[in-house]
Amino acid sequence: MKLTLALILSIIGLDAAAASKWLMAYTHRSLIAAMDTTDTASNKKQSLSLGITGGTDASYFGRTSPKRYPFYTADAVYNSKSGVFVYGTVWKMAGSYPSLDEIDVGIGYVYRITPKLTGTTSYSHFFFNRSTQLIRMISNNNFDIKNTYNWGPVKTSVAFDYMWGRANDIFLTPSISKYYETPFNIFSETDYLSFTPSFSMILGTQNFVERYSADQRADPDPTINYGHDIDNPNSARGNRQFKPLNYSLRIPIAYNRAHYTIEANTRFSVPVNAPGQIRNHQEVFFNLTFYYLFF
Q: Which domains does the chain have, with CATH numbers?
A: 2-207+246-270+281-294 (2.40.160.40)
Closest by Cα among 67, 60, 52, 70 to 20: 60
Structure confidence at residue 209 (pLDDT): 82
pLDDT in the model for residue 24:
40
Alpha helices in 204-274 (DSSP H): 207-216, 233-240
Structure confidence by residue, pLDDT tens digits, 67-88: 788 999 999 999 999 999 999 9
Residue type, 286: F
* Maximum pairwise Cα distance, the chain: 62
Please give the Cα distance from 200 to 248 (Å, whole number): 5
At position 86, the amino acid (one-letter code) is: V
Alpha-helical regions (H) of the chain: 2-12, 207-216, 233-240
239-274 confidence digits (pLDDT tens)? 789 999 999 999 999 999 989 999 999 999 999 988
- pLDDT, mean over the chain: 81
Among 98, 86, 71, 69, CA closest to 33: 86
